[in-house]
Amino acid sequence: MSLSVNGSDQSALLLQEFIKGNETFQETYFKKHETQLLNLVRNGQTPRALFIGCSDSRVIPDLIVQTRPGDLFVVRNVGNFVAPYKPDEDFHSTAAAIEYAVGVLEVSEIIICGHSHCGAIEALYKSSCDTSMIHTAKWLTLGEKAKAMALIALGTDAPREELLRTTERLSIVTQIENLLTYPYVKKLADEEKLFIHGWYYDIETGAIEYYDPDTYEFRPLSELAE
Protein backbone atom coordinates (compact mmCIF):
# COMPACT_ATOMS: atom_id res chain seq x y z
CA MET A 1 0.00 0.00 0.00
CA SER A 2 1.29 3.46 -0.87
CA LEU A 3 0.31 6.73 0.76
CA SER A 4 1.03 10.08 -0.83
CA VAL A 5 2.00 12.67 1.76
CA ASN A 6 2.58 15.62 -0.53
CA GLY A 7 0.20 14.67 -3.36
CA SER A 8 -0.41 16.74 -6.46
CA ASP A 9 -0.12 20.51 -6.67
CA GLN A 10 -3.89 20.80 -6.32
CA SER A 11 -3.87 18.58 -3.26
CA ALA A 12 -1.01 20.58 -1.77
CA LEU A 13 -2.95 23.82 -2.23
CA LEU A 14 -5.98 22.32 -0.52
CA LEU A 15 -3.86 21.11 2.40
CA GLN A 16 -2.40 24.60 2.72
CA GLU A 17 -5.95 25.95 3.06
CA PHE A 18 -6.67 23.41 5.79
CA ILE A 19 -3.44 24.24 7.60
CA LYS A 20 -4.19 27.96 7.47
CA GLY A 21 -7.73 27.28 8.63
CA ASN A 22 -6.51 25.32 11.63
CA GLU A 23 -4.06 28.06 12.54
CA THR A 24 -6.86 30.63 12.35
CA PHE A 25 -9.06 28.37 14.51
CA GLN A 26 -6.37 28.09 17.17
CA GLU A 27 -5.69 31.82 17.17
CA THR A 28 -9.32 32.95 17.22
CA TYR A 29 -12.13 30.57 18.21
CA PHE A 30 -10.05 28.23 20.38
CA LYS A 31 -8.36 31.08 22.22
CA LYS A 32 -11.68 32.87 22.81
CA HIS A 33 -13.43 29.70 24.09
CA GLU A 34 -10.43 28.03 25.68
CA THR A 35 -11.98 27.74 29.15
CA GLN A 36 -15.11 26.05 27.85
CA LEU A 37 -13.17 23.71 25.55
CA LEU A 38 -10.74 22.67 28.29
CA ASN A 39 -13.67 22.03 30.64
CA LEU A 40 -14.94 19.54 28.07
CA VAL A 41 -11.54 17.85 28.18
CA ARG A 42 -11.44 17.67 31.98
CA ASN A 43 -15.09 16.83 32.63
CA GLY A 44 -15.94 14.88 29.49
CA GLN A 45 -18.85 15.42 27.15
CA THR A 46 -22.49 15.60 28.21
CA PRO A 47 -24.33 16.30 24.96
CA ARG A 48 -28.05 16.93 25.17
CA ALA A 49 -28.97 15.38 21.84
CA LEU A 50 -27.95 12.79 19.28
CA PHE A 51 -28.13 14.37 15.82
CA ILE A 52 -28.41 11.90 12.94
CA GLY A 53 -27.78 13.86 9.77
CA CYS A 54 -26.68 13.46 6.18
CA SER A 55 -23.05 13.43 5.12
CA ASP A 56 -23.87 16.12 2.55
CA SER A 57 -21.19 18.82 2.82
CA ARG A 58 -23.85 21.55 2.69
CA VAL A 59 -25.53 20.38 5.91
CA ILE A 60 -23.46 21.23 8.99
CA PRO A 61 -25.36 20.44 12.22
CA ASP A 62 -23.57 22.82 14.59
CA LEU A 63 -23.82 25.61 12.04
CA ILE A 64 -27.52 25.35 11.18
CA VAL A 65 -28.64 25.37 14.82
CA GLN A 66 -25.72 27.38 16.21
CA THR A 67 -24.79 24.90 18.94
CA ARG A 68 -21.55 24.91 20.90
CA PRO A 69 -18.92 22.19 21.19
CA GLY A 70 -20.28 19.54 23.54
CA ASP A 71 -23.96 20.18 22.78
CA LEU A 72 -24.52 17.61 20.03
CA PHE A 73 -23.37 14.04 19.57
CA VAL A 74 -23.37 13.78 15.78
CA VAL A 75 -23.50 10.84 13.40
CA ARG A 76 -23.68 11.53 9.67
CA ASN A 77 -24.20 9.07 6.86
CA VAL A 78 -25.47 8.95 3.28
CA GLY A 79 -29.12 9.99 3.37
CA ASN A 80 -29.39 10.31 7.18
CA PHE A 81 -30.69 6.73 7.16
CA VAL A 82 -31.17 4.47 10.16
CA ALA A 83 -31.00 0.75 9.49
CA PRO A 84 -33.48 -1.36 11.48
CA TYR A 85 -32.18 -2.95 14.68
CA LYS A 86 -30.20 -6.12 14.00
CA PRO A 87 -28.82 -7.90 17.10
CA ASP A 88 -25.73 -9.47 15.59
CA GLU A 89 -22.02 -8.83 15.89
CA ASP A 90 -21.44 -7.36 12.44
CA PHE A 91 -20.18 -3.81 11.92
CA HIS A 92 -23.00 -1.27 12.41
CA SER A 93 -21.69 2.30 12.53
CA THR A 94 -24.95 4.20 12.97
CA ALA A 95 -26.29 1.60 15.39
CA ALA A 96 -23.14 1.88 17.48
CA ALA A 97 -23.54 5.66 17.67
CA ILE A 98 -27.18 5.29 18.74
CA GLU A 99 -26.25 2.69 21.34
CA TYR A 100 -23.45 4.84 22.75
CA ALA A 101 -25.48 8.05 22.77
CA VAL A 102 -28.43 6.45 24.55
CA GLY A 103 -26.68 3.92 26.76
CA VAL A 104 -23.55 5.81 27.81
CA LEU A 105 -24.12 9.51 27.19
CA GLU A 106 -27.80 9.25 28.16
CA VAL A 107 -29.01 11.89 25.71
CA SER A 108 -32.60 12.97 26.15
CA GLU A 109 -33.26 13.84 22.49
CA ILE A 110 -32.62 12.18 19.15
CA ILE A 111 -32.97 14.30 16.02
CA ILE A 112 -33.11 12.72 12.57
CA CYS A 113 -32.48 15.55 10.13
CA GLY A 114 -33.05 15.21 6.40
CA HIS A 115 -32.66 17.98 3.86
CA SER A 116 -33.69 19.26 0.46
CA HIS A 117 -31.80 18.29 -2.69
CA CYS A 118 -30.52 15.11 -1.05
CA GLY A 119 -28.36 13.06 -3.39
CA ALA A 120 -29.30 9.80 -1.70
CA ILE A 121 -33.00 10.40 -2.33
CA GLU A 122 -32.36 11.49 -5.90
CA ALA A 123 -30.40 8.28 -6.50
CA LEU A 124 -33.54 6.27 -5.67
CA TYR A 125 -35.12 7.59 -8.87
CA LYS A 126 -32.22 6.84 -11.18
CA SER A 127 -32.77 3.91 -13.50
CA SER A 128 -29.29 2.48 -13.11
CA CYS A 129 -26.67 2.33 -10.41
CA ASP A 130 -22.94 1.65 -10.62
CA THR A 131 -22.84 -2.05 -9.75
CA SER A 132 -19.34 -1.66 -8.31
CA MET A 133 -20.74 0.53 -5.51
CA ILE A 134 -22.12 -2.43 -3.60
CA HIS A 135 -22.24 -0.77 -0.18
CA THR A 136 -23.97 2.35 -1.51
CA ALA A 137 -26.54 0.33 -3.44
CA LYS A 138 -27.38 -1.73 -0.36
CA TRP A 139 -27.56 1.34 1.90
CA LEU A 140 -29.92 3.16 -0.47
CA THR A 141 -32.52 0.42 -0.07
CA LEU A 142 -33.28 2.07 3.28
CA GLY A 143 -34.99 4.84 1.29
CA GLU A 144 -37.17 2.60 -0.86
CA LYS A 145 -40.16 2.64 1.51
CA ALA A 146 -40.28 6.44 1.42
CA LYS A 147 -40.07 6.38 -2.38
CA ALA A 148 -42.96 3.90 -2.60
CA MET A 149 -45.06 6.05 -0.26
CA ALA A 150 -44.35 9.19 -2.30
CA LEU A 151 -45.32 7.47 -5.55
CA ILE A 152 -48.58 6.25 -4.01
CA ALA A 153 -49.37 9.71 -2.62
CA LEU A 154 -48.47 11.74 -5.71
CA GLY A 155 -48.60 9.26 -8.58
CA THR A 156 -45.89 8.32 -11.05
CA ASP A 157 -46.70 11.31 -13.25
CA ALA A 158 -46.07 13.88 -10.51
CA PRO A 159 -43.41 16.53 -11.20
CA ARG A 160 -39.95 15.18 -10.39
CA GLU A 161 -39.05 17.95 -7.94
CA GLU A 162 -42.29 17.45 -6.02
CA LEU A 163 -41.60 13.71 -5.83
CA LEU A 164 -38.09 14.33 -4.54
CA ARG A 165 -39.11 16.85 -1.88
CA THR A 166 -41.93 14.56 -0.71
CA THR A 167 -39.65 11.52 -0.61
CA GLU A 168 -37.07 13.45 1.41
CA ARG A 169 -39.68 14.26 4.04
CA LEU A 170 -41.24 10.79 4.08
CA SER A 171 -37.80 9.25 4.47
CA ILE A 172 -37.39 11.09 7.77
CA VAL A 173 -40.60 9.47 9.00
CA THR A 174 -39.54 5.98 7.90
CA GLN A 175 -36.12 6.41 9.54
CA ILE A 176 -37.90 7.27 12.80
CA GLU A 177 -39.85 4.03 12.41
CA ASN A 178 -36.56 2.17 11.99
CA LEU A 179 -35.10 3.92 15.04
CA LEU A 180 -38.00 2.68 17.14
CA THR A 181 -37.06 -0.94 16.32
CA TYR A 182 -34.14 -0.50 18.76
CA PRO A 183 -35.55 -1.98 22.00
CA TYR A 184 -33.75 0.41 24.36
CA VAL A 185 -34.82 3.42 22.28
CA LYS A 186 -38.44 2.27 22.17
CA LYS A 187 -38.48 1.59 25.93
CA LEU A 188 -37.15 5.02 26.87
CA ALA A 189 -39.40 6.75 24.34
CA ASP A 190 -42.45 4.98 25.77
CA GLU A 191 -41.39 6.06 29.25
CA GLU A 192 -40.99 9.65 27.97
CA LYS A 193 -37.35 9.67 29.03
CA LEU A 194 -36.19 9.97 25.42
CA PHE A 195 -37.76 12.21 22.79
CA ILE A 196 -37.42 11.67 19.06
CA HIS A 197 -37.66 14.44 16.48
CA GLY A 198 -37.81 14.50 12.70
CA TRP A 199 -36.39 17.63 11.07
CA TYR A 200 -36.20 18.77 7.46
CA TYR A 201 -33.56 21.35 6.54
CA ASP A 202 -34.12 23.47 3.43
CA ILE A 203 -30.66 24.23 2.04
CA GLU A 204 -32.08 27.01 -0.16
CA THR A 205 -33.46 29.07 2.73
CA GLY A 206 -31.72 27.76 5.87
CA ALA A 207 -35.13 27.07 7.45
CA ILE A 208 -35.95 23.91 9.38
CA GLU A 209 -39.30 22.12 9.57
CA TYR A 210 -40.26 19.55 12.20
CA TYR A 211 -42.50 16.53 11.81
CA ASP A 212 -45.73 16.77 13.77
CA PRO A 213 -46.95 13.20 14.42
CA ASP A 214 -50.37 14.46 15.47
CA THR A 215 -51.12 16.09 12.12
CA TYR A 216 -48.71 14.01 9.97
CA GLU A 217 -47.28 17.27 8.63
CA PHE A 218 -43.96 19.09 8.55
CA ARG A 219 -44.31 22.49 10.16
CA PRO A 220 -41.91 25.43 10.73
CA LEU A 221 -39.56 24.74 13.62
CA SER A 222 -40.20 28.30 14.84
CA GLU A 223 -43.76 27.27 15.77
CA LEU A 224 -42.36 25.23 18.68
CA ALA A 225 -41.30 28.47 20.36
CA GLU A 226 -44.82 29.90 20.27
| Active-site annotation holds for 115 | yes
Q: Which of 113, 118, 165, 169 is catalytic?
A: 118
User: 210: part of which helix (H) or strand (E)?
Assistant: strand 208-212
Q: Which of 9, 33, 42, 56 is catalytic?
A: 56
Cα dihedral across residues 223, 48, 59, 113: positive or negative: negative
CA torsion 209-211-216-220 (nearest 10°) is -30
Rounded distance, CA 201 to CA 32, Å? Answer: 30
Q: Which of 33, 88, 115, 190 is catalytic?
A: 115
Rounded distance, CA 122 to CA 68, Å? Answer: 32
Could you list the beta-strand ranges (E) of 21-152.
49-54, 72-77, 109-115
Q: Which of 9, 33, 48, 54 is catalytic?
A: 54
Using CA atoms, how far residue 123 sits from 62, 130, 136, 145, in Å, is 27, 11, 10, 14
| Active-site annotation holds for 169 | no
Using CA atoms, how far residue 41 sits from 30, 38, 46, 105, 201, in Å, is 13, 5, 11, 15, 31
The 3-state secondary structure of 13-31, one letter per residue: HHHHHHHHHHHHHHHHHHH
Of 96, 114, 113, the closest CA to residue 105 belongs to 96
| Active-site annotation holds for 113 | no
Catalytic residues: 54, 56, 58, 115, 118
